[in-house]
Structure 1
Amino acid sequence: MKTWVYRLIAVLGCAVLLAVSVFLSELAFKKVLEFRELERIPLSRLTESVGGESQVRGRVSLIDNKSLASPKTGTNCVYYRYLVQREERDSDGDTVWRTIRDEESAVDFRLEDDSGSALVRASSAGSHLRWSVAQQFFTREGKHRYTEWRVDPGNQVTVFGWMTYEPDAILAFPYAGHYQPIISSFTGSVERASVAMDAVLVLWGGVTALILSCFCLIYSARIHRTLVFLVIVSLSGSLLLFHYGYRSVQTDLDRGLERVDQHSSRALQRINTVLEGRGYSMVNFSEPFDLEKNVYTLLSGSEKERINGWRRSAFQVRQRFINQIARFPESYVASAGELGSPPAIMVPHDQRAIAFAADSAFQSTHTQTSAWWVPLLLLVTAVLAWLAFLAIKTKRMQENIPTSKTQGVVFGVAEVKGKLVPQAEGGVVPGPLSNEDCVWYHYTVEERRGSGKKKYWYTIQDDVVKRPFFCEDEEGRIRVFPGNAECITRHVQTEYRGNRRYIERRLSPSDELYILGKAKLDKTSGESLVMGYEKGSPYIIANVPEEEVMVRKARMGMGIMALALSVVFLCSLFVIGGSGQMSSLDFLLASLVSPLFMIFVVLALMFNDLVFLRQRCERNWANIQVSLKKRAGLMPQLEAVVKQYLSHEAELQKKLVELRESGNKASTASEVDAYL
């Protein structure tokens, strides 16, 4: 597939992932607001609810003995969900459970506590009512399994609903109001934790989609600068979280103030209704009124208890809002928006003490995550960051190491470019698929196995053949041993025959090469340097341009780094959820994760570059010292050799002269006879 096709796919992926990120982020924002709304609704006794959005907990009882019978066990209940599943085999031969029946039903019931009771209209609530119920029954019979979730008479449940008085207390579940309709077998803290966990996971999905969108953008633009990628990811992630953090502050303050006003007015209305019914004048919260005074003798004990409960509830809601706008950053946003404190609610000291005691007993929401999740995620982040660092380290070495001519290569990591020239004898082999001459090929035969969703390619043959060759440029050549090298080639040939796939990758004669590896002494001759593999050093042989190799390495490193950043975001969100706040400050703190991660990575890369530069300088200086030392010891030796040679030459010339002179003398008769 051509490069432009991949880049087009990356552009489309960037747009799709960006849209997914916006959608998930908005959904997470709504989840956080839902969580905050649930926290703003105080737990109250049935008779002390002021109406509207209410959170109550009590015991379930039947209305006129009307109940449901659960389908499997026949148990009397006010709600059930019945699930029947059948064991089947899918096309891959794996066991799956198919749902063949999934139904739920509910009837109205009464909710009772020590203060009174209320009618709960569960039968007409509709699908927007969320039932959070414990599993009561499970069994397996043959290839079927049966599960029941029930609310039985006598069970304790928590209800988030809309309280009205007609004149009796009624809990219904209309769409109006800032609350999530819930009937739960668990406490309000557990339900808030469930909403908080949903918000954490959805927000993580949105941030991850944004990070991957940035990666697709970098991929399509063929940018290999790691710092550019980190800056784009950091800015986009931080701006996203900062945006939703600021929106959370504004929305939270607006709804919090609205909640205080509504709750106070409802509480005051309930109080004045009771007082007027007994002939007393209306009161307001700006002035304290003591129910223990003789003037209120007509009120019964239960009426006094309800009135005290209503004003304690109003005081608690206001106090929580005061505490909210007193912390950072809500305090700055409130002052900038000229949002003042709501009117004071005057409560007697004894009731104030009870309200403060109830607030101190309030259970903060903590996401249901195991204690080992955060250390595990940190470990995964460290592993991914290390793998990304290794990939980027190779790319940084390419940037930092200058290209050398073949005759200028020095011992150590070197980078050369040139034309591939095979050895004279046995230097090439035919490719198994193309039958083309090559000095290296990687040949794989894969077979399609499995079926359905489990189809995969199984390697049945994997051969690598390599021959030493030369890299030649205008100054000379250097021998290259391709063993253990990472070969990147543009020569890729693929054929399909039946259910098999044949792939050949090769390096061919006359290819323009880019080589990054270790220049070391040739063990065969000991007189020259060769390019080869050494553990701990990169070794790349490519017949594509250097920039293409850098882009590939950068993409790999940035892709792994994107996953690492996603995991560290999830870890930070788990910490935020575990803190029990999910406040605007938590959003702002989460927005700092990406810049801090970027700073850490940049510092690590800069430190590695400095270490590499120092090692390279020390190595080159050592080579210079060796050369100077060799020359310092060589000159006296050369002088001695030359002097000895000159002495030998002088002696030789003297002997030659003597021989010539001896040849001019007359020979005696005996000397002549010796030659004859």
Structure 2
Amino acid sequence: MRKILGHWAFALVILLAGSTGGWWLTGVGLGNIQDLRQLERVPASKVGAALPGEINLTATAQPLNNKTLASHHTKTPSLYYRFRHEVEKRDSEGRRSWSTRQDFDRAVDFLLVDESGEIRIASEGDINAIDWSVAQSYQTVVGKNRYTEWRIEPYADLFVFGKAVSASDGLSVRFNQPGFYTPIISTFGQYAEQQDMGSGGLFALWGGLALLGLGVLGAVYLLKVHRLLVYLSILTGVLALVLVHLALSMMQQDIANGVTRYQAHSQAASKLIEQRLQSINQTWTGWQNAGDFLDYRYQGLAYSEQQQLREVRLTLAVSQQRLAKQMQAIPERWLLPLWGFDMPASLEGLPEADQQDLANRLQAIDATKLTGGWLWAVIPVGLLLALLFTWLGFRQVRYKRLIENVPTSLTAGVSCGLAEVQGSLMIDDGKEPLRSPHTNSRCAWYYYKEEERRGSGKNAKWVTLEEKTDYVTFYAEDEEGRLAIDAKDAEIISRYDKVERHGRMRYTERTLRMSDPLYAIGQADVDKQQTDRLLMVRGDKSEPFILSNFPEANVMLMKARRGMFYLSLAFSGLLLALLMTFASSGGFAATDFLMAAMAAPLYMLLVTLVLHYNDLIFLKRRAERNWANIQVSLKKRHNLIPNLEKLTKRYLTHEKDVMLKVAELRKLYTQDKQALGQYLAAEHAAGQQLNAVIEDYPELKGNKVVAKLMKSLTRAENEVALFRSGYNDAVEIYNARIATVPDVFFARAMGFSRLAYIAD
């Protein structure tokens, strides 16, 4: 009961942690991707063309009013610095670590300057709102102290993403104002920041989807679902609903932010031009009538003001074109009427030179693509993990399917081939059972391991002092009889799985105990020591050989759960590879992530169909192998017939009927499945009649040659009878599978046909 409650609690924790954590982390990932797309949507602007609103600038930092800071440790003149002081610590094993004593940063306002002008960066008051991305400038170790500085020094090239706001002394860039931007000051540049946003968002999205997959796994655990197609259908459905919801929300918010920003940018640009035209007594009549800001109509403006107006219009045109491209994509185009958005009107009246400049700027905009050696390591690792865990998962699921499809037989009805029985665990009468080393339990099989924990801290490890497995041949006994089992190389699933720790010692013991309920599935072969009985042993490695004191339903559920867990890991690996592949080609749209996430469960569904096909191949080959065993056995029996004929001629010249029947056996010998029953019946009758005659002649009963021949005939007859029963059972399972959904479709498409039984 404690184990059952533990399994339920574990499944419930997986469900709750996976669903809540996955939902949150998926939202974080898509939020990061949305921040990236906002940054991509705000075109880089020259300082002189800055307008109120979100602004993307790359220029040179210069002191404002010659004001700088002296960095804390090196006293270097700086516009921003971060200082960290760490102290060395060593544990009992002598390993070094660093403990932070101080970690703080300081900044002053400064100017951002390019050839078009300058703008104030208000970083001192907004220091805690800014995501500072600054290269390490200095580090030194003095004794047990380590000092590190990150600095922005005067005249450094910076990328700044913030919000331009109007003030009495002109525009300044602030970072604590509401808007559609992520406040950034970086020494690495815009593209590097976009890559960081993209990689962070992708890993968060991948982690969220992987956790959602675990949440689904917890749900199917609680519901005791064991069918793979049901699990994958639930997984696909949940991911589809979550991702469709998040993707549509992201698309809608993305377009809403873009439209709002473009409208604000357009209004600010129009207001600026209107003010400039009023200064030369002209009236603003719209973009279509603006013409070339460098021609004679605007000669009253300074050249720098003319260049500013031209740059403002080009920047606005870039924003309009990029927003229009996004809104024309599918499915966004179909959803615009539902969301109530209209396509932004293009800026008309652009001079030919400006049109060419616009085209060049649009062409120069590169979609964010993840690059680097780490990416090309992650993709193959994800694929390899997907393949590995897919193989492990389907191995477990395949075992589960065999357990499900192989019928449970009474021990008296077991035939050669893969067999499944349930009974009680017994050993030969009068034989003493084993005693397990740790619990001293009476058992027929045990595994024991004794370990000692050596070392301390992170270097501590468990060292195996003793590990052994022992067993005796035992039986699965039911009301019809018993089946002998050789447990060598079997997979043991036991309710008696005990791990105890005493001080630095740990003891592990697993047992199959006397009179336990026993479930067994494995290969039933003719016992080489006693040819009149079958012995369950390890067969082909692709087939299960499981012994358990749990019921069949529990074993099947364990295999299904283990398989689905491996497949969940395979899903995570495949999803990681797909997301990184999309990102390497610049795919950061919501639809890209939706396709990547949907491809993983669809792949799983495809492999499931392959599993069904492989099952049919296995079942057909199993029947064919059993038929091959019959052929070998028949050949051995047929080779005995000449000896039998010589024997009857020598000793039974007066028994003409027996001689005739033996001679007829050669003519009747066949490998046709329909006629085989007739041949076996005739051979059995001849053998019975010969045996009766031998019983009547004492000199024949004592003859060693006769005794050996009759023993060989009896052994061969028993062997063929067992093989024939195994073949017919295999044919029954195969024929049933190819007649049921969904395997019937494979059978028709791939040419699987019914196999014939061997007639009695």
Q: Find the partner of 1:491 among 496, 501, 522.
A: 496
Deviations 1:31-53 (A, max 9, x none): 12211111111101111122211
Paired residue for 2:397? 392
One-letter code aligned to 1:576: F
Describe the shift of the 1:406–1:151 C-alpha distance in structure 2 as closer, same or farther (beyond 3 A).
same
Residues 8 and 220 in structure 1, CA contact (< 8 A), matched pair in contact too: no
Q: CA deviation at 1:108?
A: 0.8
Q: Give the Cα–Cα distance (whole angstroms) in 1 for the partners of residues 171 and 5 of structure 2.
A: 68
Gap runs ≥5 in structure 1: 657-676
Q: CA deviation at 1:641?
A: 6.2
Structure 2 residue 252 is matched with structure 1 residue 246: no
Paired residue for 1:664? none
Describe the shift of the 1:372–1:430 C-alpha distance in structure 2 as closer, same or farther (beyond 3 A).
closer
Describe the shift of the 1:338–1:67 C-alpha distance in structure 2 as closer, same or farther (beyond 3 A).
closer
Paired residue for 2:420? 415
Structure 2 residue 524 is matched with structure 1 residue 519: yes
Residues 229 and 605 in structure 2, CA contact (< 8 A), matched pair in contact too: no
Residues 160 and 185 in structure 2, CA contact (< 8 A), matched pair in contact too: yes
Deviates more, 1:244-253 or 1:488-497: 488-497
One-letter code aligned to 1:464: T
Taking the TM superposition and a 5 Å limit, the aligned residue runs for 1:117-516 are 117-165=118-166, 166-337=168-339, 339-346=341-348, 347-370=350-373, 371-424=376-429, 426-449=431-454, 457-516=462-521
Residues 197 and 368 in structure 1, CA contact (< 8 A), matched pair in contact too: no
Greater fraction of residues in helix: 2
Residues 59 and 156 in structure 1, CA contact (< 8 A), matched pair in contact too: yes
Q: CA deviation at 1:296?
A: 2.1
Residues 427 and 439 in structure 1, CA contact (< 8 A), matched pair in contact too: no
State the TM-score, normalizing by the size of structure 1.
Answer: 0.90
Q: Give the Cα–Cα distance (whole angstroms) in 2 for the partners of residues 655 and 422 of structure 1.
A: 41
Residues 440 and 508 in structure 1, CA contact (< 8 A), matched pair in contact too: yes
Structure 2 residue 600 is matched with structure 1 residue 594: yes
Deviations 1:409-429 (A, max 9, x none): 333322222222213465522
Residues 50 and 266 in structure 1, CA contact (< 8 A), matched pair in contact too: yes
Deviations 1:332-386 (A, max 9, x none): 1124445332233122221121121112111321224532321221112111111
Residues 424 and 516 in structure 2, CA contact (< 8 A), matched pair in contact too: yes
Taking the TM superposition and a 5 Å limit, the aligned residue runs for 1:643-654 are 647=653
Describe the shift of the 1:611–1:434 C-alpha distance in structure 2 as closer, same or farther (beyond 3 A).
same
Q: Give the Cα–Cα distance (whole angstroms) in 1 for the partners of residues 697 and 371 of structure 2.
A: 106
One-letter code aligned to 1:65: N
Residues 294 and 307 in structure 2, CA contact (< 8 A), matched pair in contact too: no
Q: CA deviation at 1:604?
A: 2.4
Paired residue for 1:532? 537
Residues 92 and 450 in structure 1, CA contact (< 8 A), matched pair in contact too: no
Residues 117 and 169 in structure 1, CA contact (< 8 A), matched pair in contact too: no
Paired residue for 1:575? 581
One-letter code aligned to 1:81: R
Gap runs ≥5 in structure 2: 657-692, 699-760
> What is the root-mean-square deviation of aligned Cα atoms in Å?
2.8
Residues 329 and 584 in structure 1, CA contact (< 8 A), matched pair in contact too: no
Paired residue for 2:570? 564
Residues 513 and 543 in structure 1, CA contact (< 8 A), matched pair in contact too: yes
Q: Give the Cα–Cα distance (whole angstroms) in 2 for the partners of residues 404 and 303 of structure 1.
A: 94
Q: Give the Cα–Cα distance (whole angstroms) in 2 for the partners of residues 158 and 623 of structure 1.
A: 77
Q: CA deviation at 1:621?
A: 3.4
Q: Find the partner of 2:621 among 597, 610, 615.
A: 615
State the TM-score, normalizing by the size of structure 2.
Answer: 0.81
Paired residue for 1:663? none
Question: Could you tell me the percent identity over the aligned residues?
Answer: 35
Structure 2 residue 69 is matched with structure 1 residue 68: yes
One-letter code aligned to 1:497: H
Q: Give the Cα–Cα distance (whole angstroms) in 2 for the partners of residues 655 and 240 of structure 1.
A: 87
Residues 417 and 626 in structure 2, CA contact (< 8 A), matched pair in contact too: no
Say which SS state the counterpart of residue 287 (structure 2) adopts: coil
Say which SS state the counterpart of residue 291 (structure 1) adopts: coil
Taking the TM superposition and a 5 Å limit, the aligned residue runs for 1:1-12 are 1-12=2-13
* Number of positions where the alignment pairs a residue of Structure 1 with one of Structure 2: 655
Q: CA deviation at 1:199?
A: 0.9
Deviations 1:553-584 (A, max 9, x none): 11111111101101111112212222224112
Residues 43 and 54 in structure 1, CA contact (< 8 A), matched pair in contact too: yes
Q: Give the Cα–Cα distance (whole angstroms) in 2 for the partners of residues 418 and 560 of structure 1.
A: 31
Q: CA deviation at 1:448?
A: 4.3
Describe the shift of the 1:159–1:325 C-alpha distance in structure 2 as closer, same or farther (beyond 3 A).
same
Q: CA deviation at 1:226?
A: 1.5
Q: Give the Cα–Cα distance (whole angstroms) in 2 for the partners of residues 352 and 63 of structure 1.
A: 37
Q: Give the Cα–Cα distance (whole angstroms) in 1 for the partners of residues 603 and 91 of structure 2.
A: 44
Residues 293 and 307 in structure 2, CA contact (< 8 A), matched pair in contact too: no
Q: Give the Cα–Cα distance (whole angstroms) in 1 for the partners of residues 499 and 173 of structure 2.
A: 69
